[in-house]
Structure 1
Amino acid sequence: TFSVAPQWKIRPNLMVYARVASGYRPGGPNINCGRPFVACTYGSDRTVNYELGLKGDFFDRLVSIDASAYLIDWDDIQTLVATPNGRSGYTANGGTARSQGVELSMTLRPSRATTIEGWVAYNDSKLTEDFPAAARLAAFKGDRLPYSARWSGNISANHTIALSDTTDAFFGGNLSYVGKRIGTFQPDPLRAVFPSYWQFDLTAGLKWNNGWRFNAFVNNLTNERGILRAGADSNIPTAVTYIRPRSFGVAVSKSF
């Protein structure tokens, strides 16, 4: 493997960088070995990654920006596939693919007590050649890769209020978005489509300068039913796996 990553500081708080790197994952065994249509092992896959980016602080660190564009070439893809009857899932190697996209993250600090952070990403991930016929998969050049959302993003805000010389109160929220995704490679009528979803979380609490911290939280406030897996992507063809439903909790911690 190799990695080359030059960077250039235009000024002390602004830099551009580039990166070219390779990587691989080792192959391994399938736990469903012996079942009909299931391969007992799968091989390694390899990537070459290209990235160009910019990082900087502006207006006396009122705004921080991290932007990048990337391209990833992927060979002998390891992917979760299903048998023709949809009853067993296992890992196999496919052909080649290319992922390319852009990412932008930003932090705003309107005051010492308030921080607003967000990021947005666009990703276009497709096969660049058909899967081999022996894979028994309906996977062809131009097909989107499983579970790759074209758009995703997140925004969060946190604010702190000084109650005394030793105690601060804090509160904040987090809103995340995951775009539409497509499941494992199957003929069109069988390939699952997972709709986009939003998730909204809230937290509030107290922290003391002696290291103690207490916070209460609500995750998935709107009880969104975001789908993670369904149909042929599940060990049970009729099962649907959702994100965690609305959850309430409290936490107490001590830093030393």
Structure 2
Amino acid sequence: MGGGPVPETTTRVKDSQLTWDVSALQEVSPDVNVYARVAKGYRAPAIQGRILFDRQVSTANSERTMSYEAGIKTVLFDRKLRFNFDAYFFKTKDLQLSAVGGGTNANLLLNADAVKGHGLEAEFEARPVTGLTFTGGVSLNIAKIRDSGLVVETCGAPCTVLDPVAVPAAPFQPSIVYIDGNQLPQAPKWTINFTAGYEHPVGPGSIYFYTDWYHRSKIQFFLYRSVEFSDDSLLEGGVRIGYKWDKFDVAGFVRNITNDESAVSGIDFNNLTAMVNEPRIWGVEFGVKF
């Protein structure tokens, strides 16, 4: 099926880069700091040696990133509230990408001319009263491929592709499309998380309650955009109620309490296959610390 023995192949890559990092921190007050950072990063060249239907060993040149970040860190209300916020921008030249699947079920390395990204991040932790804690965070992440000539092979399965076509599909051959302007795969624009916990002494120990929630916006699974190999959103939450004393802990819990059914990745080789998140799970747990 693989076409016989694979001839010996020798591939070499090499490069050298100077990387650096400069940061500054200013104390505005004992409770407020502002900071800024500029850095140059580097990833060495890569070799993809997966040999299956496609017998070519692919390589990718080294990538170079310039990133800029500025933000503020605060501790407020007699240390009952911590709030941090930052904004960032980066540009990566020759970003290494991996084109997987397609009609040949390949894993091919390639370089995008550039990927430009920017975003915002904010997080907080609040302890308004003894035993009660809240945490939360939100982030916006825009990370777009910038390469007008970059193309990839699309799904071997019959999916609905949304990108401009460079080479139309032929019998037993999927189409090839331009991916300029696409968000990086598995990179949601928005993520939000929140937790709340409360603990109160009862008898020789304490009873506690904890809940956590996570939301992400739409993602694409591959470098190309398609209707089928994507997921609009994900919202998962969990609850745990228990009692702990000495070295013992007994609790009841539920995960994915809303029973959100979302695809998280896929296989586009020869059928519309998706991997999904875990379903709602209920349980009881007893723990002992040694």
TM-score bracket for the superposition, by shorter chain length: 0.7 to 0.9
From 201, 217, 220, give the equivalent of 1:182. Answer: 220
Q: Deviations over 1:102-143 (max 9, x none)?
A: 01111221212101111111111112223546x666344322
Counterpart-to-counterpart distance in 2, 1:218 and 1:90: 40
Report what 1:58 is aligned to.
76
Report what 1:246 is aligned to.
280
RMSD of aligned alpha carbons: 2.5
Map 1:53-202; keep pairs closer than 5 Å.
53-82=71-100, 84-85=102-103, 87-130=105-148, 132=150, 138-164=177-203, 166-186=204-224, 192-202=229-239
Percent identity of equivalent pairs: 23
CA change 1:238–1:191 in 2 (3 A) is: closer
Counterpart-to-counterpart distance in 2, 1:191 and 1:94: 24
Larger radius of gyration: 2
Counterpart-to-counterpart distance in 2, 1:39 and 1:31: 5
Shift of the alpha carbon at 1:41? Answer: 3.2
TM-score by length of 2: 0.77
Alpha carbons 2:43, 2:62 under 8 Å: kept: yes
Counterpart-to-counterpart distance in 2, 1:159 and 1:35: 56
Structure 2: gaps spanning 5 or more residues: 1-18, 154-175
Q: Deviations over 1:63-120 (max 9, x none)?
A: 2101000111112212231355262334432221111010111122121210111111
Matched to 2:273, the amino acid is: A
Counterpart-to-counterpart distance in 2, 1:189 and 1:105: 33
Alpha carbons 1:29, 1:42 under 8 Å: kept: yes
Alpha carbons 1:80, 1:184 under 8 Å: kept: no
Counterpart-to-counterpart distance in 2, 1:37 and 1:196: 37
Alpha carbons 1:38, 1:83 under 8 Å: kept: no
Counterpart-to-counterpart distance in 2, 1:158 and 1:185: 39
More divergent stretch after superposition (20-29 vs 152-161): 20-29
Counterpart-to-counterpart distance in 1, 2:62 and 2:282: 42
CA change 1:205–1:90 in 2 (3 A) is: farther
Counterpart-to-counterpart distance in 2, 1:211 and 1:148: 41
Alpha carbons 1:7, 1:15 under 8 Å: kept: yes
Q: Deviations over 1:16-44 (max 9, x none)?
A: 00011122233333242353275433333
TM-score by length of 1: 0.86
Report what 2:26 is aligned to.
8
Q: Deviations over 1:136-186 (max 9, x none)?
A: 66344322221221111011100001013x411111111110100123223
Matched to 1:65, the amino acid is: F
Counterpart-to-counterpart distance in 2, 1:35 and 1:254: 51
CA change 1:212–1:24 in 2 (3 A) is: farther
Aligned partner of residue 128 in structure 2, secondary structure: strand
Matched to 2:242, the amino acid is: G
Counterpart-to-counterpart distance in 2, 1:21 and 1:81: 28
Shift of the alpha carbon at 1:189? Answer: 5.1
Alpha carbons 1:104, 1:119 under 8 Å: kept: yes
Alpha carbons 2:179, 2:223 under 8 Å: kept: no
Alpha carbons 1:37, 1:83 under 8 Å: kept: no
Alpha carbons 2:49, 2:57 under 8 Å: kept: no
Alpha carbons 1:195, 1:227 under 8 Å: kept: no
Aligned partner of residue 144 in structure 1, secondary structure: coil
Report what 1:224 is aligned to.
260
